[in-house]
Chain A
Amino acid sequence: MQVAGRKHRHRLWWIAVFLAAASALSAQSMIGKRLEVLTDTLTADLMGLPAVVASTAWEPAEQVVPSLGLTDEVSWVRLRIDPRSENGQLIEIQNAGIDELTGYMVCDGKVIATYERGALQTGPFDATFGTYPTFPVPLVECDELHAVFRLKSSKPLLLPVRIAGPRQVLNDAHQRDILFAAYFGVILVMLLYNLFLFFSVGDRSYLEYSLFIFMIGGTQFVLNGYAPYFNVNDWPWLNERITHLFGVLSGLTTIVFAQNFLRLSRYVPWLHKLLNGYFLVYLVALVLTLAGQLTWAYNVINFCAAAIFFFIPGAVITMRKGYSPAKYFLLAFSIFIVAVIVFVMKDAGVIPYNQWTFFALPLGSAIEMVLLSLALASRINQLKKESAHAREEQLRISQLNERIVREQNTKLEERVRDRTADLEQVNASMRSTLDELQSAQQQLVQSEKLASIGQLTAGIAHELNNPINFVASSAQSLRRDFEDLNEIIGMVKAMDASDDALENQVTAIKEKLSQLDIDFTQQEIDELLNGIEDGTNRTSEIVKGLRIFSRMDGDNFIQAQLNELIESTLIVLRSTIKDRAVVDLQLGDDVPPVMCQPGRLNQVFMNTITNAVQAMDGLDREVEENCVSIRTARVESIGQDWAEVRIKDTGAGMSDAVKSQIFDPFFTTKPVGEGTGLGLSIVMGILSDHNAEVEVESEEGTGTEFIIRFPL
């Protein structure tokens, strides 16, 4: 900021110098009202100078600085000169931009002198009396002395004309040169300074500003007639067009500069687009210029110059939007526009034409340059600030992003945690379900076991009932029979051989014997004893079978005879089977003992045999037709010895669909409530524990055969 402030003061000093120089300019009296304009230009064109001189169609100009407008036509103007007071003086036309200018001195209707562009400007450029064309008033004796000018220009014909002494003209020219030199100095310094900044900083806006300064300065240079210093007159084509070219280029650079400086594309897009439109119009002006349509080109350029009026609202809007450098821009262009207005009003005669008003334009332009330079510095600062701000914003956004990411992460982690917890919960519930299922299965297996135990006890109870019944009953009957016998024995004991009545006693005994039907009794006793014997045998057989069957050696593998196990199972099942089927038992003698869990194998045999019997229930036929055949044998298969058990029924058989499911838990063909559907799955489990192979052959309507092979 301090540097900027110093620069600021620096420039203010320049402005002070500029103003001081300007104040040295003296007021000049324009004699536009003494000028007469030829209205009958047609005659002049046809007849030439003599007709002009002879013409009476002259009309006085109304303004202090007459304006003949922008026209392709040749204009004629004359000035009546007082030969006595004004001879030896110079007529100065303070317009360096007139393309064709010829002055004629007419004394009493006779042309006495002809000057091209000015008396002393004989060469391409002669700056004896400055940059403006001057015409010396000849020292002649005339009643009427006129200076007649033939003018033609592609620019507006503005005629600030005065008559002054050579010293005065020269003096003013010097002053003007000095001021313009100062002005161009300022421009040059600014140009170089900004170019330098461009090359060192690399910011494009400095280059644009440099171009803008160059074009504005160049325009002033050309407009004020300094172009011939660079021998532009040697190239008439360029000389004719240079004002237009500078007009186009300064317009373009101004617009580019304004657009970028005010950042219109960002702050005021509509204006940016509108100004882009001006590029096209300037292109038209350029084409017209190059094509030589200079009047039209000038009109177009003039029209385009109005674009700077848009800069004011543009700057205001931009400023309002918080872009502070816009205020320098606004001030700079406001001053410039005021200068333009002053310049135009001076020409229009609204305000006096003097060096002040004349110099308003370059002055305004210089002030504009300086202010814009300040604006540019401010803009650079602003940009720096903005970029810092942007960096901060970037940082803030990235921090915000980071925070958001962190939050998202936290949320994500939370969700993962939640999901994990959910999953764990699900797992736990699945585990507990699994546990429940396992315990349910165990319970079912247990209940299946209990059911078979129930079946077993019922069968045993029934099986024991008969022997117990007849043994008990027989014992009572035997007692009675023996009472009868005892009676006889008593009678026999009481016999006394010495007694006379022996005969009688024998008769009595015989009578008793026949009364008691002792032969029958003896036979009965025999039968009863047989029954008791048979009953006890059977009971002990049952108990033995029961012991074998229910051998709860549990899970211990021991050597056991399959035949024995099957027999014991059949004892237990006898009462169950008795009224439902016949058993065809063929146990092979060669079947060796098998390492097994006998208790569990009994469950296998009981299940399969019961299934075989059940498969034949409800077929409505004689019991003899329901045959369960059980065979055991030692076989050789797949190069190995096996103990084979075949349990075959003549029952209903199974379809393949049923057959494929019989070992599945809970599969049953029995009505609901009659079977758990676990029997065969338990069988399968037990057999796989024994590494036994199970084969099921079944045909619907014929029967089913279970083939179980135990490895030896």
Chain B
Amino acid sequence: MINVLYLDDEAHNLTAFRAAFRRDFQVHVTTEPTDAVRILREHPIEVIISDQKMPKLSGVEFFELIAPDYPDPVRMLLTGHADIDAVIDAINKGQIYKYIAKPWNESELRDLVKEASALYHDRQAIVLRGEDLQQRMSKAEQEAVKIQALTSSQTALTADETARVFELANAIQRLLQA
């Protein structure tokens, strides 16, 4: 299930959101930004939705606040009326994925959350794959070092040694092809 965090100062919105999406996603809701940070810490949140207009700090400010510690979750901004300044702010400062106008359309919002989640996972996959590649590269490098050690010490290789070199080369090939 997709982990979604929804921050809004209007408690009824939270209730409505949870009721609407609890069947599809793992929904976390709160009216308090501090509580939202706690949830981020405790749950693998993939998508964050925040209301823009809140008494203590705005949605954009919240995103700005959490950006250094939680760069990965995809953010979406929810606001009551089209406020062009908020939109510009959101895009420039908060690294917002989507901007949603209230009242939301449930199915659209659902699709958006799914898209955001997919994006999150794609990003995660890319990150993982990169890490995997890095690991394999370092392993391949280690194998290559071994080959070098074998080939540099002697002028002629024994059959065993030649077989070992081939084995290592194959290993490198496998590592790189994966």
Known contacts A462-B80, A470-B10, A473-B106: does B53 contact A579 (CB below 8 Å)?
yes
Asked if B54 and A477 sit within 8 Å, CB to CB, the answer is: no
Residues on the A chain within 8 Å of B17, using CB: 473
Does B43 have its Cβ within 8 Å of any Cβ on chain A? no
> How far in angstroms is the closest Cβ of chain A from B111?
15
Residues on the B chain within 8 Å of A603, using CB: none
Contact of B103 among A473, A530, A578 (CB under 8 A): A473
Contact of A473 among B16, B55, B81 (CB under 8 A): B16
Contact pattern, A 438-479, Cβ under 8 Å of B = 1, otherwise 0: 000000000000000000001001100111111011101110
Closest partner residue, chain B, to A521 (CB atom): B19
Contact of A531 among B15, B54, B81, B102 (CB under 8 A): B15
Residues on the B chain within 8 Å of A534, using CB: 12
Residues on the A chain within 8 Å of B53, using CB: 462, 575, 578-579
Does B58 have its Cβ within 8 Å of any Cβ on chain A? yes
Does B13 have its Cβ within 8 Å of any Cβ on chain A? yes
Number of interface residues of A (CB under 8 A): 28
Query: Cα distance A462–B102 when bound, in Å?
Result: 9
> How far in angstroms is the closest Cβ of chain B from A97?
138
Asked if A524 and B19 sit within 8 Å, CB to CB, the answer is: yes
Does B56 have its Cβ within 8 Å of any Cβ on chain A? yes
Does B38 have its Cβ within 8 Å of any Cβ on chain A? no
Query: Cα distance A122–B42 when bound, in Å?
Result: 184
Does A653 have its Cβ within 8 Å of any Cβ on chain B? no
Query: Cα distance A531–B13 when bound, in Å?
Result: 8
Query: Cα distance A474–B18 when bound, in Å?
Result: 10
Known contacts A466-B102, A468-B103, A578-B53: does B80 contact A473 (CB below 8 Å)?
no
Contact of A474 among B12, B54, B102 (CB under 8 A): B12
Query: Cα distance A478–B58 when bound, in Å?
Result: 30
> How far in angstroms is the closest Cβ of chain B from A582?
8
Residues on the B chain within 8 Å of A314, using CB: none
Asked if B12 and A466 sit within 8 Å, CB to CB, the answer is: yes
Asked if B15 and A466 sit within 8 Å, CB to CB, the answer is: no
Q: Which of A458, A466, A623 has the most CB of B within 10 A?
A: A466
Contact pattern, B 93-128, Cβ under 8 Å of A = 1, otherwise 0: 000000000111010000000000000000000000
Known contacts A470-B13, A535-B12, A623-B55: does B80 contact A481 (CB below 8 Å)?
no
> How far in angstroms is the closest Cβ of chain B from A462?
4
Does B67 have its Cβ within 8 Å of any Cβ on chain A? no
Asked if B106 and A466 sit within 8 Å, CB to CB, the answer is: no
Query: Cα distance A575–B52 when bound, in Å?
Result: 12
Does B66 have its Cβ within 8 Å of any Cβ on chain A? no
Does B20 have its Cβ within 8 Å of any Cβ on chain A? yes
Residues on the B chain within 8 Å of A465, using CB: 80-81, 102-103
Residues on the A chain within 8 Å of B103, using CB: 465, 468-469, 472-473
> How far in angstroms is the closest Cβ of chain B from A329?
115
Asked if B106 and A476 sit within 8 Å, CB to CB, the answer is: yes
Residues B18-49 near A (CB distance < 8 A): 18-20, 23
Known contacts A466-B80, A469-B104: does B55 contact A578 (CB below 8 Å)?
yes
Known contacts A465-B102, A466-B10, A473-B103: does B81 contact A458 (CB below 8 Å)?
yes
Asked if B81 and A474 sit within 8 Å, CB to CB, the answer is: no
Residues on the B chain within 8 Å of A472, using CB: 103
Contact pattern, B 40-81, Cβ under 8 Å of A = 1, otherwise 0: 000000000000011110100000000000000000000011
Query: Cα distance A476–B107 when bound, in Å?
Result: 11
Closest partner residue, chain B, to A538 (CB atom): B12
Closest partner residue, chain B, to A469 (CB atom): B103
Q: Which of A470, A578, A579 has the most CB of B within 10 A?
A: A470
Residues on the B chain within 8 Å of A579, using CB: 53-56, 58
Residues on the B chain within 8 Å of A467, using CB: 12
Query: Cα distance A534–B19 when bound, in Å?
Result: 17
> How far in angstroms is the closest Cβ of chain B from A476?
6
Closest partner residue, chain B, to A578 (CB atom): B55
> How far in angstroms is the closest Cβ of chain B from A573?
14
Asked if B58 and A473 sit within 8 Å, CB to CB, the answer is: no
Asked if B102 and A527 sit within 8 Å, CB to CB, the answer is: no
Asked if B80 and A470 sit within 8 Å, CB to CB, the answer is: no
Contact pattern, A 690-709, Cβ under 8 Å of B = 1, otherwise 0: 00000000000000000000
Query: Cα distance A474–B23 when bound, in Å?
Result: 14
Asked if A528 and B55 sit within 8 Å, CB to CB, the answer is: no
Does A167 have its Cβ within 8 Å of any Cβ on chain B? no
Does A480 have its Cβ within 8 Å of any Cβ on chain B? yes
Asked if A527 and B15 sit within 8 Å, CB to CB, the answer is: yes
Residues on the B chain within 8 Å of A461, using CB: 80-81
> How far in angstroms is the closest Cβ of chain A from B16?
4
> How far in angstroms is the closest Cβ of chain A from B49?
13
Residues A127-156 near B (CB distance < 8 A): none
Query: Cα distance A469–B81 when bound, in Å?
Result: 12
Query: Cα distance A462–B83 when bound, in Å?
Result: 10
Known contacts A462-B80, A476-B106: does B55 contact A470 (CB below 8 Å)?
no
Query: Cα distance A203–B103 when bound, in Å?
Result: 125
Contact of A528 among B10, B19, B102 (CB under 8 A): B19
> How far in angstroms is the closest Cβ of chain A from B19?
3
Asked if A474 and B56 sit within 8 Å, CB to CB, the answer is: no
Residues on the B chain within 8 Å of A527, using CB: 15, 19
Asked if A476 and B20 sit within 8 Å, CB to CB, the answer is: yes
Query: Cα distance A473–B16 when bound, in Å?
Result: 6
> How far in angstroms is the closest Cβ of chain A from B112?
15
Query: Cα distance A534–B10 when bound, in Å?
Result: 12
Residues on the B chain within 8 Å of A575, using CB: 53, 80
Known contacts A462-B53, A469-B102, A579-B54: does B15 contact A524 (CB below 8 Å)?
yes
Closest partner residue, chain B, to A477 (CB atom): B19
Residues on the A chain within 8 Å of B20, using CB: 473, 476-477
Query: Cα distance A258–B131 when bound, in Å?
Result: 147
Residues A528-587 near B (CB distance < 8 A): 528, 530-531, 534-535, 575, 578-579
Query: Cα distance A524–B19 when bound, in Å?
Result: 7
Known contacts A579-B55, A623-B55: does B13 contact A469 (CB below 8 Å)?
yes
Closest partner residue, chain B, to A460 (CB atom): B81
Query: Cα distance A530–B53 when bound, in Å?
Result: 23
Asked if B23 and A470 sit within 8 Å, CB to CB, the answer is: no
Residues on the A chain within 8 Å of B12, using CB: 466-467, 470, 474, 530-531, 534-535
Query: Cα distance A478–B16 when bound, in Å?
Result: 9
Residues on the A chain within 8 Å of B13, using CB: 466, 469-470, 473
Closest partner residue, chain A, to B19 (CB atom): A477
Can you report 12 residue pairs joining A to B where beta carbons are below 8 Å apart? A465-B81, A466-B80, A469-B13, A469-B80, A469-B104, A470-B10, A470-B13, A524-B15, A524-B18, A524-B19, A530-B12, A579-B56
**Given known contacts A480-B23, A578-B53, what 15 new A-B pairs fall within 8 Å (CB)?**
A461-B80, A465-B81, A466-B10, A466-B12, A466-B13, A467-B12, A470-B15, A473-B103, A473-B106, A474-B12, A474-B16, A477-B19, A528-B15, A575-B53, A623-B56
Binding site for B on A (CB under 8 A): 458, 461-462, 465-470, 472-474, 476-478, 480-481, 524, 527-528, 530-531, 534-535, 575, 578-579, 623
> 3 tightest A-B contacts by CB?
A477-B19, A465-B80, A473-B16
